[in-house]
Structure 1
Amino acid sequence: MNATATTATRYLELPGGRIAFDDEGTGSAVLLLPGMLDSRHAYRHLRPLLLAAGHRVVAMDLRGFGESSIEWADYSPAAIAEDALALLSHLGIERATLVGSSYTAASVVKAAGLAPERVAGIALIDGFIENLSPNALQRGMVKALGHAVLRFPSLWGLYLRKTAFGQAKPADLDAYAAGLVASLRTPGRATATRGYVFGDSAPVGWSAAVECPALVVMGEQDPDFPSPAAVAQRQAEALNARQVLIPGAGHYPMAEDPQATAAALLPFLAEVAAAEAAAVKAA
């Protein structure tokens, strides 16, 4: 793997726009994808723990958010999967473990199915994939919430401060949420917001193509699911994956309890790295 490392923002130019990312550390590579309407700094508290454990950590902004360009033709999880694979190629990373949060859990699943030769493992953090199909009332509520956020971006900040997190909110939550709300008000950002909130955020069936090791991490008190444990179990069964519930955590355990999230993720990363090394030795 290429050992190039820097904490400065870098950019990958793609046909439809540019993707912002940063790249730090050496060792087995981990690519972090944030959830929708968020930035790569969603992993700001987890990332140092991964670096300290000896991993190369690459974090990317999604289409339309963070420091990536805003207007794209497609904001779907499948399109983001293609961006992730393009970034690995750009950096000369032959194989990596992909970590997806919320909306992008589907993206890492899709990437593993599309390019098994590039994806050594995947980890889903409070992901929307393989969930039970929403009923008409739930679909209506999601649509209404999407329209509300488009019209009143401050509602996203309210969700983050009052609902999304469990028992232990990160100390910088107010400032972080304010930054995301300000981002939603950037000229043109409504196009990207609309692409996410009205897209297919929970595809079913993609897991069947996954052959690599997988880990499902779920906040035990995630308010986005009626039964977080049941969702985690469903995903774990679909992916033949291990599952870890983070006690007291909500939808963003990597920010509210990074130590517990690292305790779930690091042994998995070590197992993937060991399997990769054994495969190289056997070859």
Structure 2
Amino acid sequence: MAMDMTAKLELRYLARPEGRIAYTDAGSGPLVVAVPGMGDLRSTYDDVVPALVAAGHRVVVADLRGHGDSDTTFTAHGDVATGTDLVALVEHLDAGPAVLLGSSMGGSAAVWAAAERPDLVRGLVLLAPHLRETASPAQARTYRLLYRALFVRPWGAAAWASLYTSMFAKGRKGPRHAEHVAQIRRSMADAAHLRSFRDLAVALDHSVIEPLVAKVQAPSLVVVGELDPDYKDAGAELARMREALDGQELLVPGVGHYPQHQAPEVVTPAVLDFLAGLPAAPAHSAPQENGADGRGACA
């Protein structure tokens, strides 16, 4: 059912200075804008979107720069670049303020957007986010050298698909896991997509996010898998993030870095409960249809 619904959605585009951001737009009601993490696709939310739409939300899901159906012409990547894309998308949709739903560095970008444009953000759902840079300068340099060597043709797509499953998706796998990873691998087989992914991996530096966390006014829900390898102690890091944001938390047992599709039966009800507890959103008219080519634009 999830795949059937999302497969039928019209693909739309947001024009940005260096290219276009691809997104889908489903449902009507209070706006939720979702973005995946590095090396992932918007289909990471396919098990979550139908329930949110059924509950009366308008759900817009975007691909990252250089990922999926977005253009590969961008030269700037990272938390701030993605945060500016989120701001531009909410402004373009003219249906905010929105709840921003972000996975991994997509969650970091959502925090940036909430801190910089509180008028556009009424809530945050952060799935395995990075609210601080935990790597030392020496570790960061080593990682960048590794990414430059690992994420190149001809082995880069296979290497990321393997890491996605073996390292980051530890624990139980959702029913769509194999299909989703195969889709990621097909996308990364394209040289331009692989280059964009590598550029993002090399550029990522979450130190810009930590000083902004205290500026966030929007209510938040932080969701972390207990097996997430991105944290030395997932429970302790979750508690630290929840306290920093003065929000809600959910630790999901038996899953790693992608709780939204490793355990959607746990994550989706928690997201729905969080959305239901937010103050009422301003009323907006139904979303406008794009032209025949399905392309929206933002100045």
Q: For residues 34 and 113 of structure 1, what CA distance do their matches in structure 2 show? A: 19
Asked if residue 170 in structure 1 is aligned to residue 171 in structure 2, the reply is: no
Partner SS for 1:161: helix
Q: Percent identity?
A: 33
* Farther off after superposition, 249-258 or 183-192: 183-192
Shift of 1:73: 2.1
Partner SS for 1:150: coil
User: In the alignment, which residue of structure 2 is the partner of 1:257?
Assistant: 263
Equivalent residues in 2 for 1:87-236, closer than 5 Å: 87-134=89-136, 136-137=138-139, 140-141=142-143, 143-145=145-147, 147-151=149-153, 152-203=156-207, 204-236=210-242
User: In the alignment, which residue of structure 2 is the partner of 1:34?
Assistant: 36
Shift of 1:28: 1.3
Asked if residue 240 in structure 1 is aligned to residue 246 in structure 2, the reply is: yes
AA aligned to 1:181 is: R
Q: Which consecutive aligned stretches of 4+ in structure 1 deviate over 4 angstroms post-superposition?
A: none
AA aligned to 1:120 is: R
Using the size of structure 1 for normalisation, the TM-score is 0.89
Cα 1:64–1:199 shift into 2, 3 Å: same
Could you say which structure has the greater relative contact order, defined with CA pairs below 8 angstroms and 6 or more residues apart? 2
Shift of 1:142: 5.9
Cα 1:141–1:88 shift into 2, 3 Å: closer
Q: For residues 275 and 31 of structure 1, what CA distance do their matches in structure 2 show? A: 14
Shift of 1:84: 1.0
Deviations 1:109-159 (A, max 9, x none): 010011111100111100122254446347524642453133532111111
* Farther off after superposition, 137-146 or 99-108: 137-146
Deviations 1:26-57 (A, max 9, x none): 12111111001111111011111212222111
Q: For residues 229 and 272 of structure 1, what CA distance do their matches in structure 2 show? A: 25
Measured on the aligned residues, the alpha-carbon RMSD in Å equals: 2.0
* Farther off after superposition, 169-178 or 143-152: 143-152
User: In the alignment, which residue of structure 2 is the partner of 1:281?
Assistant: none
Q: For residues 274 and 231 of structure 2, what CA distance do their matches in structure 1 show? A: 25
Partner SS for 2:261: helix
Given that 1:222 and 1:228 are in contact with CA atoms closer than 8 Å, whether structure 2 keeps it comes out as yes
How many residues are matched?
272
AA aligned to 2:158 is: S
User: In the alignment, which residue of structure 2 is the partner of 1:268?
Assistant: 274
Aligned pair partner of 2:80 in 78, 81, 85: 78
Structure 1 unaligned runs (5+)? 1-5, 278-283
Q: For residues 9 and 78 of structure 1, what CA distance do their matches in structure 2 show? A: 24
Given that 1:131 and 1:235 are in contact with CA atoms closer than 8 Å, whether structure 2 keeps it comes out as no
Partner SS for 2:119: coil
AA aligned to 2:219 is: P
Partner SS for 2:32: strand
User: In the alignment, which residue of structure 1 is the partner of 2:65?
Assistant: 63
* Farther off after superposition, 240-249 or 58-67: 240-249
Partner SS for 1:123: strand
* Farther off after superposition, 227-236 or 58-67: 227-236
Q: For residues 137 and 204 of structure 2, what CA distance do their matches in structure 1 show? A: 14
Using the size of structure 2 for normalisation, the TM-score is 0.85
Q: For residues 182 and 275 of structure 1, what CA distance do their matches in structure 2 show? A: 39
* Farther off after superposition, 67-76 or 203-212: 203-212
